[in-house]
């Protein structure tokens, strides 16, 4: 209970302070960034146990065992007992770049503190390198530094909890930095490696396919470069793990399994409401898989209906972005459109949402963030992480179920300022400029 109170107070302070910094970005954020890095680097895996799945898969794959085709090898890992029950039978959903980057954590044996520390050092060095590079390339843009590097979501879920989305965000940011030098294959390489960290990072493709292009011929050539670079990088990255087509098939099955039980989205809330109306007992202490057949059937029906509705809402967001891209091709607007596309997919179209999924969109809004989006980001960051605070409580705690109300708050925020974010961007930016 004390730890929960400290988390809530600390998170409130972090998010409100970040909101103030966004309103008045500091001209020299280096000290603030390193202070935040020092504080969050000491975090243990409080908010999820994904780190242990990653450590198990990295250590086994380094020993030559298959983790993409099946989960049979997991029992040979010292981290097996630490893996969440739902994921013990699921092959690795991560890309090969993530597993290769996690190998340093598998070199120190089965001590969790040493494994966590070695991984944070290796990933932290990459983080510092990209940060320092951005300091040189984006000196004229303090908003970029504040939106990305001082973002509490980036620090806590990135270097604090070591989600692979940190690596993806760093690679995407590297692609943006390379754009400052030339629109050559460096951006394609960054996008390909990010996609091979986690598949959801492929959603950033509009930027890399369209930036610095003016004609359809240029865009087709850029798409061809992206496809060619991705193919080469994929062959090289999968080579240490390749066991035939089952390597890809098993990973695809794992991604499908991860979305069978919705979480953190409108679909998840609809299922919970339908279950409650159908007389479903409190599920504190039980997972959805432990409900009886009739309870699961009620939820499944609600999920199907809600998923169709959520897909239509996402479509209503994505189509205007695409149409406006045909009329407007400047770099800053392309960044907003790409970020908006990623947000619409991960918060609305996907049945599964975790706060760290948003990291893929942050670098683009660091380039340009209209007022409505800036307001939304503060609330989205604040609410999206809080549902994970309940994981520090035992399932028997009387606060376990009320804490999950944070999921409902996140879903409400996903839908807030919808028109201003996806439909009225041009008018709002024009009004702001006139003002």
Residue 434 confidence (pLDDT) above 60: no
Flag whether 311 is in a domain.
yes
Flag whether 252 is in a domain.
no
d(CA 123, CA 128): 9
- What are the pLDDT digits (tens) for 391-423? 888 877 777 665 567 788 899 999 999 999 998
One domain, residues 83 and 134: yes
- Can you give the pLDDT at residue 377? 97
One domain, residues 292 and 208: no
Mean pLDDT to the nearest integer, 331-348: 93
* Of the residues 188, 211, 243, the one at which a domain ends: 243
Flag whether 310 is in a domain.
yes
* Of the residues 183, 214, 243, the one at which a domain ends: 243
Flag whether 248 is in a domain.
no
Residue 430: pLDDT band (50, 70, 90) is very low
CA angle, 19 then 362 then 232, to 5°: 165
More confident residue, 431 or 182: 182
Chain centroid to CA 393: 24
One domain, residues 228 and 264: no
- What are the pLDDT digits (tens) for 251-269? 888 887 777 778 889 888 8
* Of the residues 213, 243, 273, the one at which a domain ends: 243
Query: What's the pTM?
Result: 0.92
One domain, residues 231 and 292: no
One domain, residues 68 and 193: yes
| 368 neighbors 333 (Cβ within 8 angstroms) | yes
Domain count, the chain: 2
One domain, residues 286 and 402: yes
Flag whether 249 is in a domain.
no
Flag whether 253 is in a domain.
no
Which structural domain, as residue segments, surrounds residue 180? 1-243
More confident residue, 107 or 137: 107
Closest CA to 263 of 380, 399, 406, 362: 406
| 302 neighbors 271 (Cβ within 8 angstroms) | yes
One domain, residues 239 and 318: no
Mean pLDDT to the nearest integer, 368-379: 95
Flag whether 173 is in a domain.
yes
Mean pLDDT to the nearest integer, 38-56: 92
Residue 270 confidence (pLDDT) above 90: no
One domain, residues 176 and 264: no
- Can you give the pLDDT at residue 203? 96
One domain, residues 231 and 298: no
One domain, residues 89 and 138: yes
Residue 212: pLDDT band (50, 70, 90) is confident
One domain, residues 75 and 161: yes
Flag whether 398 is in a domain.
yes
């Amino acid at each position: 209970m004390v730890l929960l109170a400290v988390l809530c107070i600390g998170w409130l302070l972090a998010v409100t302070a970040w909101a103030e910094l966004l309103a008045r970005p500091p001209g020299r954020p280096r000290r603030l960034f390193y202070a935040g890095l020092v504080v969050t680097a000491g975090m243990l895996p409080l908010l999820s146990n994904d780190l242990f799945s990653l450590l198990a898969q990295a250590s086994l794959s380094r020993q030559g065992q298959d983790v993409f085709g099946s989960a049979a090898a997991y029992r040979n890992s010292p981290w097996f007992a630490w893996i969440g029950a739902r994921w013990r039978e699921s092959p690795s959903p991560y890309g090969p770049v993530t597993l290769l980057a996690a190998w340093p954590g598998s070199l120190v044996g089965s001590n969790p503190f040493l494994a966590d520390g070695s991984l944070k050092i290796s990933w932290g060095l990459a983080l510092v390198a990209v940060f320092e590079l951005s300091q040189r390339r984006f000196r004229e843009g303090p908003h970029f530094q504040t939106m990305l590097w001082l973002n509490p979501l980036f620090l806590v879920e990135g270097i604090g909890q070591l989600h692979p989305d940190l690596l993806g965000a760093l690679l995407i940011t590297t692609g943006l930095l390379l754009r400052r030098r030339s629109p050559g294959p460096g951006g394609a390489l960054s996008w390909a490696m990010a996609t091979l960290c986690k598949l959801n990072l492929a959603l950033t493709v509009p930027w890399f396919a369209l930036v610095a292009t003016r004609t359809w011929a240029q865009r087709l050539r850029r798409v061809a470069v992206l496809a060619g670079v991705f193919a080469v990088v994929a062959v090289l990255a999968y080579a240490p793990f390749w066991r035939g087509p089952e390597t890809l098939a098993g990973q695809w099955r794992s991604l499908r399994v991860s979305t069978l039980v919705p979480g953190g989205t409108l679909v998840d809330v609809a299922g919970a409401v339908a279950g409650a109306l159908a007389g479903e007992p409190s599920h504190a202490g039980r997972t959805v898989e432990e409900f009886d057949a009739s309870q699961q059937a009620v939820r499944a029906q609600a999920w199907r209906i809600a998923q169709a509705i959520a897909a239509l809402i996402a479509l209503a967001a994505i189509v205007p972005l695409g149409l406006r891209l045909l009329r407007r091709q400047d770099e800053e607007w392309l960044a907003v459109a790409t970020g908006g596309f990623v947000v619409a997919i991960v918060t609305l179209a996907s049945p599964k949402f975790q706060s760290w999924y948003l990291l893929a969109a942050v670098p683009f809004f660091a380039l340009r963030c209209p007022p409505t989006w800036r307001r939304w980001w503060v609330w989205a960051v604040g609410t999206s992480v809080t549902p994970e605070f309940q994981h520090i409580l035992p399932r028997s705690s009387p606060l376990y179920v009320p804490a999950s109300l944070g999921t409902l708050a996140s879903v409400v925020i996903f839908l807030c300022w919808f028109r201003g974010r996806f439909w009225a961007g041009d008018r709002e930016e024009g009004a702001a400029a006139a003002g």
